[in-house]
Amino acid sequence: MERKFTIGSRGSDLALWQTGFTKNLLEKHFPQAAFDVRIIKTKGDAVLDTALSKIGDKGLFTKEIEHALIAEEIDLAVHSLKDLPTTQPAGLKIGAVSKRETPNDIFISKNYSSIADLPKNAKVATGSLRRKSQLLVFRPDLEIVEIRGNVPTRIERFLASDLDGMILAYAGVHRLGLDKYITQIIPTEILLPAVGQGVMAVEIREDDAEIAAMLETLDDADTNVCITAERAFLRRLEGGCQVPIGANAFLENGEIVLRGFVGSLDGKQVIRDSISGAKDSAEDLGIRLAEKCLDAGALEILGGARNAVADATGEVLF
């Protein structure tokens, strides 16, 4: 007998692309099963006139979907991994992660070929504190403008504006077929990505052995190792997706290389460090790199960043 499964997803173009991609893979591997999609609106989708950093930190784009999963209203959920808090709610777990897309951020501009090419005091749009901090390290003169909305909406609004540039994640732009707007793929030496950026994650109930077994066919082992290190780094720093923390892990000569960043919102206080080690020590590597950053003053820097966010108006300027 055919079993039906319901996949939970946000309603943005990117979320539906990612959910559709996962659904197609599952249908290919399990033609005897049926999969449908239920769109669930999250807090981050509902509040669009306030900076993300002012409306909360953890689970802005996942909490309502996770509630539906716990309540057994859906059977699995597809997320951008960077949106998932580093600790799952009781009873839930990550069942699979996709092969990682290029994790870098990208620069979009109508007139300038790169961030370095921008004129003095240029205006650049981003909704990310992580990007803001690192941009101001590289170009302290820039004016950073807050922006919200899904990927196509942000691109459309930028093209109609007088702003000089905008920063987005490569993965989202590429998955939606919008590569023609990419001016520069930004080196990670300038912008380290968000933890888990470029990775899709499928979240399930811990006690659902059937779906867990099915998802083994979708899980990418190398990506899983790398994001384990990144998420351990973020977890130890007690950071969420709305703090100026970046990390990128990759495999080199059979070992994990993990690079991390912690910075103040104005880019004047910065910690960059790295660590490497065996693939079976991913969690430990993330914790050890976080400890190195904490020893260098990360707690004070992050505390200052949180205080600055609390004092800000939270107005979306563009």
CATH number for domain 1-98+199-219, candidates 3.40.190.10, 3.30.479.10, 3.40.50.1950, 3.90.79.10:
3.40.190.10
DSSP letters of 49-98? SB-GGGS-SSSTTTHHHHHHHHTTSSSEEEEEGGGS-SSPPTTEEEEEEP
Strand pairing class (255-263; 270-278): antiparallel
Estimate the crossing angle of helix 13-29 against helix 151-159, to 10 degrees.
140
pLDDT band at 1 (very low <50, low <70, confident <90, very high): very low
Q: What is the pLDDT of residues 2-44, one digit of tens each?
A: 789 999 999 999 999 999 999 999 999 999 999 999 999 987 7
What's the average model confidence in pLDDT over 159-166?
A: 97
What's the average model confidence in pLDDT over 57-65?
A: 80
CA distance linking residue 126 with residue 151, whole number of Å: 11
pLDDT of 159 > 80? The answer is yes
CA distance linking residue 130 with residue 6, whole number of Å: 34
Among 158, 121, 125, which residue's Cα sits nearest to residue 140?
Answer: 121
- The domain at 105-192 falls in which architecture? 3-Layer(aba) Sandwich (3.40)
Q: What is the pLDDT of residues 219-246, one digit of tens each?
A: 999 999 999 999 999 999 986 656 899 9
Q: Where are the beta strands (DSSP E) in the chain?
A: 4-9, 34-39, 76-80, 92-97, 105-108, 123-125, 143-145, 165-169, 184-185, 200-205, 245-252, 255-263, 270-278
pLDDT band at 49 (very low <50, low <70, confident <90, very high): low
Question: Where do you find CATH 3.30.160.40 in the chain?
Answer: 221-312
Handedness of CA 42, 44, 50, 52 (dihedral sign): positive
Fold of 221-312: Double Stranded RNA Binding Domain (3.30.160)
Average pLDDT in the chain: 92
Q: What is the pLDDT of residues 184-214, one digit of tens each?
A: 999 999 999 999 999 999 999 999 999 999 9
CA distance linking residue 220 with residue 97, whole number of Å: 6
pLDDT band at 74 (very low <50, low <70, confident <90, very high): very high
pLDDT band at 47 (very low <50, low <70, confident <90, very high): low
pLDDT of 46 > 80? The answer is no
Question: Where do you find CATH 3.40.190.10 in the chain?
Answer: 1-98+199-219, 105-192
- By annotation, the residues acting in catalysis are 83
